[in-house]
Every structure is written in structure tokens, then in C-alpha cells.
Copies of this chain bind each other. A is one copy, B any other.
Amino acid sequence: MFAARIDRLTSSLVRDILAAASRPGVISFAGGLPASEVLFRASPQVLGQLPDDIWQYGQTEGEPMLRELVAIRAKALGIACSAGQVLIVNGSQQGIDLVSKLMIEEGTRVLTESPTYLAALQVFRLMGGCFVTAGQDEEGLLPESVAQADARLAYLVPTFQNLTGLCYSLDRRKALAQAFDGQSMVVFEDDPYRDLSFDGPAPVPVVSHLKQARWVYQGSFSKTLAPGLRLGYLIVHPDLIQAMTRLKQAADLHSNRLSQAIVAQVLMDGSLDQHMANILPLYREKRDVMQACLVQYLGKKASWALPAGGLFFWLTLKREQDVMQLMQEALAAGLAIMPGFAFDPLLRQTSTIRLNFSHATFEQIEQGAVLLSSLIK
């Protein structure tokens, strides 16, 4: 009855876990929600000064002022671009949808890290993508493996990766860029966590080092300001901008103008940077508390690297264990965690789990760690 791609809409496992995680009384390490207590909220002044024209249809590409402000910030990160290359989207997820429509059809080879962002894998798979994983070490993808990938699209999250918290070094970024420059694949760098950096600024984006390769760079206001705004942006290589703009138009004409006006105001008056300075101490403290709890209660049962940014710990259990069963036992005991295999492009079973530290309270972080320890062999 449906198009064939619907058979590839992956199972609702993650939806089910997240639904269970939101039940009252459940401690959730499962989602990727920013801390509700420090979310940006538009002030009455900002809401009282919304431009009068935002209620009418707007431009597909986004509000001109917001595009300018995004380009200015991107240039400060070393990305050579103009406002004309900026496309405002409804959060990162839409950026992934648009790039997928541009690049992926049945059998298209997509190079990804492993593990990587689950919701990107889902969209790539929906559009017909098949996954190529490359060699990786603790600094990220290996440049020499890029050449062998023979992919049309490379998707990477080199800065505080969703799962592992990994942040590629400057040298690795340069070497990877050089490797991509020798290939025809489009490089899609997803960078939602850059500003959630706990121990100093991250190296500039991989795409800022590219000389030949075509690229798309993505940022988001969901982790810095508020996810409910549903606002992110793509910065797109000139060769791709026309098709991407048409795809955005076909997807929903343009993004919400209230949110765009609010975020433009926040960028213009400097309050984004102020907001980040205000919220980072809480995120850093939550990370440190989870680190301390994990060391105390799980130090002998799992290994992990301290994330220098982002929202997650990625644990590898020292003894092999069925993490689906672990997840279910934890949920029954009131703790939601995310099994690692869901994030593997090839869905390989591994004894890994992802733990979010931003949403739970300090007390819940400790309770959760104690509970988890009691369930791990």
C-alpha cells in the first residue's frame, strides 16, 4: 500500500524508550534533552517587539537578518561563507532530511562514524542509503580510510559527538579535510554541540579546512537556546544552495518566523553568548557529578572517556552483556538508558550504553548510577 521506503522506517524502540522515560518517577538518562531549568525563554520585551511583518509568508531561505548574523558567526569559526549560503531550517533534523533528499537514493553509499546520531541514520536509511563505516581511533575517523569509502555523502559529528563525546583534534580535522579534498563525496558536518564546551573552545570545523570538496555545515539553536523554537541552520557550498533552497521550499515553504525573529534578536543583542556563559557552569557540574558517580559505582564494570562537551557519556561494559535486557531491567526499576547498538549504522550488538547527564537532577544522577551498577554484571 505504501512506498517501499516505508518498510525501512525503523522500529519504534527508541520512541518506546523515550515514552517510558517520560513517565513520572522514572529517572531518565535516555533522551538528549537540554536541562529544562536553564532553557532560554524569550523575554516579554522581545515578544513585545516582534516585527509586524512576521505574520505574513516569509522567504524560503530564512529571515535576511538572521542569515547575516549566522554567517558572521560562521566566519568567526573560519568558514568562508556569505549570508546567501545560509538556509534556516526547523532544527537539525530538517537539515538532515533536506541533505538526504539532495544526495540519497536507493543504494547510495553514505560514510558515517560508528556509532553516530541515530536520527540521522534513520533518515538516511529511509531515503535508501546504505552505510559505509571507516576506520576510527580515539581521535575520530581515519583519513586514510576515507579514500576507500567510495561514498557519495560523508556524515560526521566531529565536535562532542552525540554519543561518545569525542572531539576531533585540530590535526585530525586538517588531515581529514585533505582526504575529503581528494574525493568527490559531499561532506556533511553536523555541529549542534560546539557551544556546549566545558573545557575551552573546540577546534574550528572540518569544513573550514576544505579546499576542493563540497560541503554542508549544520548548526542548531536547540542545545544553546531552546529546542521548542525548532530552529537550526545550514551553511551550504555554493554548488548546492540552489537545489537545497528548492528542497526547503518543497518541504514547508519556510521556517517559523516568530522563532526566527526571536533568535535574530538574541544574536543581535549579544544575549546568546551571555546565556551560554550562564548555563555552562550547570552543564559542567552535571557532567562532573555523573563522572564522579560513574567512577564510584561503575568504575570496575565499565570504561568511558570523560566528554569535554555535549550531553552524553558513552560506556563500554567490561563484561559482555545483553544491553537490550539491561535496558528493560533498568526501566522496570525506574531508570531509562539507551542501548548502544541502536546508534551503530550496521546495528551490530555491542555491550555499550549511552547516558545523558543534562536532564536528570543531581540526586537522580547518583540514584541512577547506583541502580545501574546493581544491574550490570
Identify the A interface with B (CB < 8 A): 1-6, 9, 12, 15, 31, 33-34, 36, 39-41, 44, 47-48, 50, 52-58, 89-91, 93-94, 97, 101-105, 108, 119, 122-123, 126-127, 152, 184, 186, 214, 222, 226-230, 239, 242-243, 246-247, 249-259, 262
Contacts and interface: CB of A to CB of B under 8 A. Distances in A.
Given A102-B2, A227-B57, A258-B229, A90 B90 contact: yes
Contacts of A256: 90, 228-230, 256, 258-259
A55 B40 contact: yes
Contacts of A3: 101-105, 108, 127
Nearest to A262: B258
Contacts of A262: 258
- Closest 6 pairs (CB-CB, A-B): A55-B226, A228-B257, A3-B105, A94-B252, A256-B256, A90-B252
Contact of A97 (B44, B108, B226, B252): B252
A94 B230 contact: no
Contact of A259 (B1, B251, B258): B258
A171 B9 CA distance: 39
Contact of A41 (B9, B55, B184, B214): B55
Given A229-B258, A251-B93, A246 B57 contact: no
Contacts of A56: 33-34, 36, 39, 226-228
B33 A93 contact: no
Contacts of A253: 91, 93, 119, 227, 230
A53 to B, nearest CB: 8
A283 to B, nearest CB: 15
B12 A55 contact: no
6 contacts: A3-B104, A6-B102, A47-B48, A56-B227, A56-B228, A229-B257
A253 B5 CA distance: 19
B97 A6 contact: no
A184 B1 contact: yes
Residue with the highest number of chain B CB atoms closer than 10 Å, among A36, A97, A258: A258
Nearest to A90: B252
B57 A33 contact: yes
Nearest to A152: B1
A144 to B, nearest CB: 24
Contact of A15 (B93, B126, B249): B249
B41 A52 contact: yes
A89 B94 CA distance: 13
Contacts of A34: 56
A350 to B, nearest CB: 24
Contacts of A126: 101, 247, 250
Given A102-B3, A256-B256, A9 B55 contact: no
B55 A229 contact: yes
A58 B250 contact: no
A9 B248 CA distance: 11
